[in-house]
Amino acid sequence: MHNKEIELLIPELRQEAGLRLQKMVSSMEESGLDAMLLASNANVFYCAGRFFRGYVYADRSGRRIFFLVRPNCFGEATDVVAIRKPENIPAELERLGIPMPATLGLELDVLSYSEIERLRKVFPDATIGNASEAMRRCRMTKTPYELKLMREDGMHQMAVYQKIPQLYKREMTDVELQVEIERMLRLEGNLGFLRVAGNLMEINLGSVICGDNADAPSPYDFAMGGAGVSPALPCGACGDIMKVGQTVMVDMNGCFNGWQTDMTRVWSIGDPGRLARDAHACSRRILRELEKMAVPGVAVCDLYERAHAIVEEEGLDDYFMGHRQKAGFIGHGVGIELNEQPPITPRNRQPLLGNMTLAIEPKFVIPGVGAVGVENTYVVTIDGLDNLTPFPEEITDLL
Amino acid sequence: MHNKEIELLIPELRQEAGLRLQKMVSSMEESGLDAMLLASNANVFYCAGRFFRGYVYADRSGRRIFFLVRPNCFGEATDVVAIRKPENIPAELERLGIPMPATLGLELDVLSYSEIERLRKVFPDATIGNASEAMRRCRMTKTPYELKLMREDGMHQMAVYQKIPQLYKREMTDVELQVEIERMLRLEGNLGFLRVAGNLMEINLGSVICGDNADAPSPYDFAMGGAGVSPALPCGACGDIMKVGQTVMVDMNGCFNGWQTDMTRVWSIGDPGRLARDAHACSRRILRELEKMAVPGVAVCDLYERAHAIVEEEGLDDYFMGHRQKAGFIGHGVGIELNEQPPITPRNRQPLLGNMTLAIEPKFVIPGVGAVGVENTYVVTIDGLDNLTPFPEEITDLL
C-alpha cells in the first residue's frame, strides 16, 4: 500500500507517470496552453495517483511539480514542494528555474469562481485558458495501466452481481435489495463513494429500479431516473415492495481502486411479459452491433444513430431511454469519474479513439413493468469493443 | 410523499416557506443584494424542499420564482416557470413584471467559473455579489421545522449506534465493522449520501477509525483523518483488524431527510488504558462546560479557548484534535451540509445566535491506541446547548 506516497513517483510506476504526462503535454499543445495548474480531486488523482490538498503544475516542456498544502508527509522527492497557500507558487517556480507561463490552463469548469479568481491573481500576467477541457480530452483515452485497473473493477463488480439472486427475498423493497448489494460491494472492496463529474449530480452507491419507479422523471442526467426515497436525493430506488411481473434493474457502483466500471443487469420477479423481453433482446442486439462497429475513426454520433435505427426498426421508440422523460444519450466515457468524455449523443461528431472506455447502455422503460436493457463498459480497439464486464446478459427470474 | 412536488409550495409548509424566504431577504439586505439567483443543490433544496435542475430567483421584496429546467413535472403553480436554459430568465422576469436587479447575488464559492461567467452574461447590467456567503449566513440558524427534522435525524442515528455492539465480531477489520454500520444506517432510512460543502472534501458514509490509523494525516479538513483503504479515497477505515487495547471511534452519516446530525461515539476492544480513558473524560468535561456556556451572544472563539484551556489544564495538549497532524477547529455548524457555518476555531469572533446547530467534537488521538472523544449535535438556546444526540457517552468494551 502506498497510501502515504504520491503513487506516480514510485519507481514501478515511472513509465505510467511518463505516459500520463506525455498525454497532458499533447493536450496542452492542442489547447495552446503553456502550462496547467490543477487542483480538482479527479485531476490531482490522475496526475499523482493519490489525493492531496494542493496543486499540480505541469508545463509543455514536460516539467511537473506537486505543490502540497496538506498532508505534508511525502518526504523529499524532487518533484514535491510544500506550500502554505497558492500565492507561494510563483516564488517556488522561480526558485526551480521554471519560467512563468504566458498562457495558463485552470480548471474553469470545476473550480469555483472564487477559487479561479484567487488563482488568476497569483498569475496576473498570464492569459487564462480552460484546463478542464484539456484534461477531459487527456483522460478520455486510457493507458494500459488504467485499463488494467478498470479490468479489475469489472471483475469485482461481476463477482458481486453474481450474488444478487441470493440476496433477493420475497416481499423485499427495492431499497432493501439495494442495501444488501451495497454491503456485498463494500465487502468486495468497493470504496463506497461514487465519483461523478459536475457539482449538480448527486447519487448514493447507485440505483436499483423496479416497476413504474423507472419512469419517475429525474433532475439529474442519469440514463434512468427513479424517484428515490426522499426529495433530498430524488434518484433511484423508492422503497416500494418489488412485485410479480416487474423487472429489477441494477446499476450499481463499480469503483474499487479509483477507476470504475459501469454495468447494468436486469432481473425479474416472475415473467415481465413479452414487451419487456423483446426490448431487452433489442438492447442486446444493439450492443452486439456496436461492439463490431465501434472502431477508431467512427463518429460517436454514428453509434447513437445505429442504435436508434435498430430501435425504430423494432418499433420500440416510445420506450427507448425513458418513456415520460427521455435521456438524450445511450452511453458515456467512464474512468476516474462516472461520466467522462465522450457522451454518446446524436450530435457528437467526434471520432472514436483507441483506448477510449465507453459505458454503453441502451435501455428501455416499459410502463407498469420497469426498465430493461444491458450496460457494459468497453474499451475501443481496432477490432471493435472489448468488454470489461462480460457477465450473462439474460433477464433471470428471482422467484 | 411529495417527491414530485416542490415541498415548500404545499399548503402545510407555507409558513416554513415564508420563514426561509424572510431569512433570505434579511440576508440580502445585510449583503446589499437586490436579488439572488441560486443553482447549487444545497441552496435549491433549502429554497424548494427538493432538488431540481434549474434556478431559484429571490428578491428583496420577497418575490421568489422557481425556474425549472428539469424535471418539468410540477404542474401550474404560480411560482414555477419552466425554462430551457438560464438565458430565458430575463424575459420571464419581464413577463412577470419583476424589475431587473441592480445587484445580483450568485453562488461564487460553489458554482464553477464557467457557470458564473455564463450567468453574468445573462444579467449584463447587474453588479454581481456573493450569494454563497449570504446563503451560508441564512442557513446557519435553523427554523423550528428544520430543527424538527434534525431531531428526527438524531433519533435515527442513535437507534443505529445502539446496535453497534451486536455488529462487532472478533478479528473483524475496521472496514468490515463500518460496512455493517452502513447497512444498519441504510435500513434505518439513511439516504446513503453524505453532503459535504466544498468540492475538495470527499468521503463515503463516514469514518470508523481504530488504533494508529487515527493519526494518519489526511488531505481533507475532517477532524480525524484515517488513511482509508485506497489512495483514491484517503480517508477513514484502513482495513486493519481491530486489536485488543485499541479504541474504535465511530463517526458515521446522520442524514435521513436531507438535514443531518453529526455524532461520534467510542467503543474499545478490551481496556484502552489510562491515558485514553482520561482524554475521553476530558472530552466529556469540555462538552458539559460548553453546553452551559454556549448561549446567544458568546463569541465562537471563546468556546474554542475554553476547550483548549481545559485541555491544557489536564496536560493533554499533545493529543488534542490530532497528534501528528492537528485539526484547527473543535466543531462546526451542521445542517443540509455536514460543514456549515460557523466553524469553531480560535479566530472566529462571530457571536453565537439562537437556533444555530453546532456539532462539537473535542477529540484526542492517543498513539498506539486510537482516537477518543465525543461529538454531539446541539442547538443553541438561551439556556445553553440542547443536545440532539443524547446517547450514552462512556467508552463501552466490545469484547
Mutation target for A interface from B172, B181, B193, B260: give the one with most A CBs within 10 A. Answer: B193
3-state helix, strand, coil in chain A (%, to 5): 35, 20, 45
Same domain, B125 and B175: no
B193: closest chain A residue by CA: A204
- Give contacts of A217 with chain B, Cβ < 8 Å: 4, 70-73
Across the interface, of A45, A108, A200, the residue whose CB is closest to B232 is A45
Same domain, A102 and A172: no
B167–chain A Cβ distance below 8 A for any pair? no
**Is residue A86 included in any domain, yes or no?**
yes
Same domain, A209 and A132: no
**Is residue A173 included in any domain, yes or no?**
yes
- Give contacts of A219 with chain B, Cβ < 8 Å: 51-53, 70-71
Among candidate residues B107, B124, B139, the one where a domain is terminated: B139
- What is the CA B127 to chain-centroid distance, rounded? 31
Predicted TM-score of the model (pTM): 0.96
A329-366 pLDDT, tens digit per residue, is 999 999 999 999 999 999 999 999 999 999 999 999 99
- Give contacts of B130 with chain A, Cβ < 8 Å: 114
Mutation target for B interface from A13, A38, A112, A252: give the one with most B CBs within 10 A. Answer: A112
The pLDDT value given to residue B219:
84
**Is residue A323 included in any domain, yes or no?**
yes
Same domain, B193 and B78: no
Same domain, A264 and A121: no
Chain B 293-312, CB below 8 Å of chain A: which residues? none
Same domain, B59 and B208: no
Q: How confident is the model at residue A74 (pLDDT cuts 50, 70, 90)?
A: low
Question: Which ipTM did the prediction report?
Answer: 0.96
Establish how many alpha carbons lie within 13 A of residue A30's alpha carbon, considering only the half-sphere containing its beta carbon: 14
Q: What is the DSSP track for B79-116?
A: TEEE-SSGGGHHHHHHHTTPPPPSEEEE-TTTSBHHHH
Q: How confident is the model at residue A4 (pLDDT cuts 50, 70, 90)?
A: low
**Is residue A1 included in any domain, yes or no?**
no
Mean pLDDT of A39-62: 95
Q: Is the pLDDT of residue B4 over 70?
A: no
Same domain, B164 and B283: yes
Same domain, A179 and A325: yes
Same domain, A26 and A160: no
B225: closest chain A residue by CA: A71
Among candidate residues B139, B158, B176, the one where a domain is terminated: B139
Q: How confident is the model at residue B72 (pLDDT cuts 50, 70, 90)?
A: low
The mean pLDDT of chain A is 94
Same domain, B100 and B194: no
**Is residue A106 included in any domain, yes or no?**
yes
**Is residue A257 included in any domain, yes or no?**
yes
Q: How confident is the model at residue B3 (pLDDT cuts 50, 70, 90)?
A: very low
Among candidate residues A114, A139, A164, the one where a domain is terminated: A139
Q: Do A186 and B193 make contact, defined as CB atoms within 8 angstroms? A: no
State the CATH number of the domain containing residue A84: 3.40.350.10
Q: Do B191 and A114 make contact, defined as CB atoms within 8 angstroms? A: no
Backbone phi, then psi, for B63, in 5-degree steps?
-80, 145
Angle (CA) B308 B202 B238, round 5°: 80
Same domain, A185 and A285: yes
**Is residue A194 included in any domain, yes or no?**
yes
Measure in Å the smallest separation between the Cα of A240 and chain B Cα atoms.
12
The pLDDT value given to residue A70:
83
Q: Do A71 and B193 make contact, defined as CB atoms within 8 angstroms? A: no
Look at A210 and A71; give whichever has higher pLDDT. A210
- Reading the block at residue A322, the C-alpha cell is 425513458
Same domain, A30 and A152: no
> Looking at the 3D structure of chain A, how many domains does it have?
2
A29: containing domain = 7-139
State the CATH number of the domain containing residue B225: 3.90.230.10
Across the interface, of A2, A114, A187, the residue whose CB is closest to B231 is A2
* Residues A30-43: b if buried by 16+ CB within 10 A, e if exposed: ebebbbbbbbbbbb
Q: Do B71 and A195 make contact, defined as CB atoms within 8 angstroms? A: no
Q: How confident is the model at residue A1 (pLDDT cuts 50, 70, 90)?
A: very low
Sign of the torsion angle spanned by Cα atoms B41, B44, B47, B51: negative
Q: How confident is the model at residue B2 (pLDDT cuts 50, 70, 90)?
A: very low
**Is residue A253 included in any domain, yes or no?**
yes
